[in-house]
Amino acid sequence: MSVVTASPPESSAVNKAGSRYAVLPRHVAIIMDGNGRWAAARGLPRIAGHRAGAEAVRRTIEAALQAGVPWLTLFAFSSENWRRPEEEVSNLTGLLRQYLKNEMAQLREAGVCLRIIGDRSRFAPDICAALAEAEHSTARNSRLRLTVALSYGGRDEIVAAARAAAEAVCRGEFKPEALDEERFARLLFTAEMPDPDLILRTSGERRLSNFLLWQAAYAELVFFDVLWPDFDAQHFAEALAEYARRERRFGARPL
């Protein structure tokens, strides 16, 4: 089977970099699912699953760095997750606080540039400050653009962009007919980011759950039965290999 690449310049750049994949996705996005089931299967509290999930986050960032994937986006906390029991929300935000404190120096040294998407204003002020500092202190890095979706919902994001477009029209900045996909995409959290080429989800669920709804239009989807805390570099490599086997046509070419 011949593999049609998403964009030839990107794959030749990858080849120059010596990647072992014929075609490397520019942007991999992951729905990390199954922490609770992982903990339940071991008779542990849910927070133990989230802690193990944070270890999987570490492994996955390392795998992306090793593979030379330039953009990685992780769905860490959805806008719906605020509806979980107070104790779990507090445990998850505590874990985020701890993660920022313990991991940022290493990420910075590894060349990771961190960006947060979502409604961060719902987090406690100290977390907001730590997120801002983490973004600021890694802003000049470019080896891996790591985006973490926090308090993120795809529909919320699209509604906010539509509202911003309507307001700009009311202010006379542009006419309604000048609103096209490109201009609209610039109003999303992900402005200036490439769309994901590959979206992974763990835990056997096969849906997007309000993740990157606009941006996922042409993404390849790969689902794993493994629970997120068990996800490792081998699974990441399998996903990249599967991506390289897929034929991407963007609706443009009949079979």
Tell me if residue 33 is catalytic: yes
Is there binding between residue 33 and ligand FPP (CB under 6 A)? yes
Phi, psi for 152 (deg, rounded to 5): -105, 140
Tell me if residue 81 is catalytic: yes
Question: Which stretch in 28-36, 59-67, 130-138, 230-238 sits in contact with ligand FPP by CB under 6 A?
Answer: 28-36
Compose the 85-104 pattern: x for residues touching ligand FPP by CB under 6 A, - for all others. ----------xx--x-----
Catalytic hit among 81, 119, 210, 232: 81
We find the least distance from the C-beta atom of residue 69 to ligand FPP, in angstroms, to be: 17
Residues, the chain, total?
255
Q: Which of 6, 24, 29, 32 lies at the binding interface for ligand FPP (CB under 6 A)?
A: 32
Catalytic hit among 33, 35, 91, 195: 33
We find the least distance from the C-beta atom of residue 110 to ligand FPP, in angstroms, to be: 15
Helix, strand, coil % (nearest 5) of the chain? 50, 15, 35
98-107's contacts with Cβ under 8 Å and 24+ in sequence apart are 99/54, 99/57, 100/127, 100/130, 100/131, 100/134, 101/130, 103/58, 104/134, 104/137, 104/138, 107/61, 107/138, 107/146
**DSSP 3-state of 75:** strand
Is there binding between residue 151 and ligand FPP (CB under 6 A)? no
Is there binding between residue 196 and ligand FPP (CB under 6 A)? no
Residues identified as active-site: 33, 81
Q: Where does this chain bind ligand FPP (CB under 6 A)?
A: 32-37, 50, 53-54, 57, 76, 81, 95-96, 99, 148, 203, 228
